[in-house]
């Protein structure tokens, strides 16, 4: 194994520092690896609670652990800054702005599923044999469908299961009729 030059070490250190600076947009920077442990540096005391939308620091810490558990070694290590997914996991959850227990758990699952979809797509793109490609395509498809189901579950949870259609522009020709207002189609006398 070739020894790292000073320039390579310096470049790697800059990549890690850059990664940490980018993570600070959610108030958290991370370093370390799964083997030796992770270090989470918070810009303010409530950073994790804000990210995960909870007042319970223990829950926020455990949800962060769940974000890290699903990542492969090279996806959660300073040694592979270009493949580091820790920042994505935390930023994705923060961007979803979970509002309750259901959304907290689902947002972590959605971030993990997305990383798995991308990972599976990478494996599919690098498959050299037909059987390999078929297996990766199957996994990719299942994960993509799971992600769509998770998005639908979040949408239904947030709006109470109601679908809203908004019509922005309507033309009514001469002799035509239009109704302006909310139209709620109720049951007729024959429907029970």
Tokens of 70: 């699903």
Q: What is the per-residue pLDDT for 20?
A: 46
Over residues 64-69, mean pLDDT: 96
Element of type H or E holding 38: strand 37-42
Contacts of 150 (CB under 8 A, 6+ apart): 106, 109, 110, 113
The helices-and-strands tally (H runs, E runs) of the chain is 6, 2
| Total-model pTM | 0.72
Q: How far apart are CA 113 and CA 89, in angstroms?
A: 10
Whether the per-residue pLDDT at 4 is higher than 90: the answer is no
Q: How far apart are CA 19 and CA 126, in angstroms?
A: 26
- Asked if residue 16 lies in contact with residue 81, where contact means CB atoms within 8 angstroms, the answer is yes
- Asked if residue 93 lies in contact with residue 31, where contact means CB atoms within 8 angstroms, the answer is no
- Asked if residue 12 lies in contact with residue 81, where contact means CB atoms within 8 angstroms, the answer is yes
- Average model confidence (pLDDT) for the chain? 87
Give 166 or 138, the one with higher predicted confidence. Answer: 138
Residue pLDDT, tens place only, 177-191: 877 777 776 666 665
């Amino acid at each position: 194994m070739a020894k790292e030059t000073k320039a390579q070490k310096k470049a790697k250190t800059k990549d890690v520092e850059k990664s940490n600076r980018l993570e600070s947009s959610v108030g958290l920077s991370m370093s370390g690896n799964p083997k030796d442990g992770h270090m989470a540096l918070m810009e303010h005391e409530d950073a994790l609670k804000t990210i995960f939308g909870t007042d319970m620091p223990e829950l926020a810490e455990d949800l962060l652990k769940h974000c890290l558990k699903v990542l492969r070694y090279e996806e959660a290590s300073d040694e592979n800054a270009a493949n580091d997914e820790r920042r994505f996991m935390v930023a994705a959850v923060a961007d979803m702005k979970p509002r309750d227990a259901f959304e907290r758990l689902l947002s972590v699952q959605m971030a993990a599923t997305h990383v798995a979809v991308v990972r599976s797509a990478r494996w599919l793109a690098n498959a050299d044999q037909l059987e390999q490609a078929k297996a990766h395509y199957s996994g990719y498809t299942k994960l993509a469908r799971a992600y769509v189901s998770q998005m639908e579950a979040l949408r239904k949870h947030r709006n109470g299961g109601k679908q809203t259609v908004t019509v922005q522009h309507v033309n009514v020709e001469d002799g035509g009729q239009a109704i302006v207002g909310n139209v709620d189609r109720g049951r007729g006398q024959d429907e029970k």
